[in-house]
Amino acid sequence: MSHTSTQGGHSADILSHTEAGVTTLTLNRVDKKNSLTTAMYTALADALELAQADERVRVVVFQGHETVFSAGNDIADFLKAPPVSPDVPVFRFLRTLSTFPKPVVAAVCGPAVGIGTTMLFHCDLVYAGDNAAFSMPFVNLGVCPEAASSLLAPQRMGYVRAAEALMLGEPFMAEAALEMGLISRIVPPTEVNALAQRQASKLAAKPTAALREVKRLMKQGQAAQVAQCMAEEAAVFGRMLGEPAAKEAFGAFLEKRKPDFSNL
């Protein structure tokens, strides 16, 4: 089975290609650094649901471009359609990904900002280019973490390193991410997508039921906690978006100036 489709409205911002049991979802909005719009979250959630239901799909791969994985939420789109309810596409995408029963592989090069990093906590194998730069700058935008990263970042990275990443919001490079156990391996950017495909093919050749059970058993211990954390983060995030710090931060981004939080 080989099938390619474009998703995400008219702009083909998400490409979906299925071949030999592997569905590859490509973030394809490079001119805007693969920042994610509501339409793209809907396309990703739809594609994951299709992949989950289709028995022929055995593995999902996420990839971006050799120069950028994702700049996180599209800030202009965010302001137009703020994610103020748990049913909005971004949270639907995160719920679908975090409970996805089949293996998920990610190939990451260049900046992986915000959800570009936090979605990786829900992927099983993560391959990164040596140019990968991860960041979770929620605080700089006056909002809180999402994707259960307030639970999973301290767990994976240790509290003080998570605090540095989530409180300062500064990028950390692939080497640090490897050392902290956030990614599986580092290769040159030109080789990342090919490596992810090779590993996905290996997974696709394995017995599906056994893989599903491995994943389920590894994750079941805290599945309820992850879901509860995501729900709480979503509620807080929605509230904070309406507060002055977020307004200042988003306004500053759009006006291409530094935000001023001195009175906030």
Nearer residue to ligand COA within complex by CB, 42 or 197: 42
| Sequence-separated (6 or more) residues with CB below 8 Å from residue 207 | none
Cα distance between residue 46 and residue 7, in whole Å: 9
User: Binding of ligand COA at residue 131 (CB under 6 A)?
Assistant: no
Restricted to residues 105-124, the positions that interact with ligand COA (CB under 6 A) are 111, 113-114
Nearer residue to ligand COA within complex by CB, 50 or 88: 88
User: Binding of ligand COA at residue 38 (CB under 6 A)?
Assistant: no
User: Binding of ligand COA at residue 223 (CB under 6 A)?
Assistant: no
Cα distance between residue 99 and residue 52, in whole Å: 10
User: Binding of ligand COA at residue 8 (CB under 6 A)?
Assistant: no
- Using CB under 6 A, pick the residue from 32, 161, 212, 215 that binds ligand COA: 32
- Using CB under 6 A, pick the residue from 11, 76, 85, 170 that binds ligand COA: 76
Which secondary structure element, helix H or strand E, spans residue 250, and what is its range? helix 244-254
In DSSP terms, which residues pair with 24 in a beta bridge? Answer: 17, 61
DSSP for 124-185 reads SEEEEETT-EEE--GGGGT----TTHHHHHHHHH-HHHHHIIIII---EEHHHHHHTTS-SE
How many residues in the shown chain lie near ligand COA by CB under 6 A? 15
Determine the interface stretch with ligand COA among 47-55, 65-73, 212-220, 230-238 (rule: CB under 6 A).
Answer: 65-73
User: Binding of ligand COA at residue 73 (CB under 6 A)?
Assistant: yes
User: Binding of ligand COA at residue 89 (CB under 6 A)?
Assistant: no
Q: Which residues of 102-119 are buried (b: 16+ CB within 10 A; e: fewer)?
A: bbbbbbbbbbbbbbbbbb
Neighbours of 85 (CB within 10 A): 10
Smallest distance from the beta carbon of 31 to ligand COA, in angstroms?
Answer: 7
Nearer residue to ligand COA within complex by CB, 8 or 21: 8
Smallest distance from the beta carbon of 139 to ligand COA, in angstroms?
Answer: 10
Q: Which residues contact ligand COA by CB under 6 A?
A: 32-33, 35, 71-76, 111, 113-114, 137-138, 141
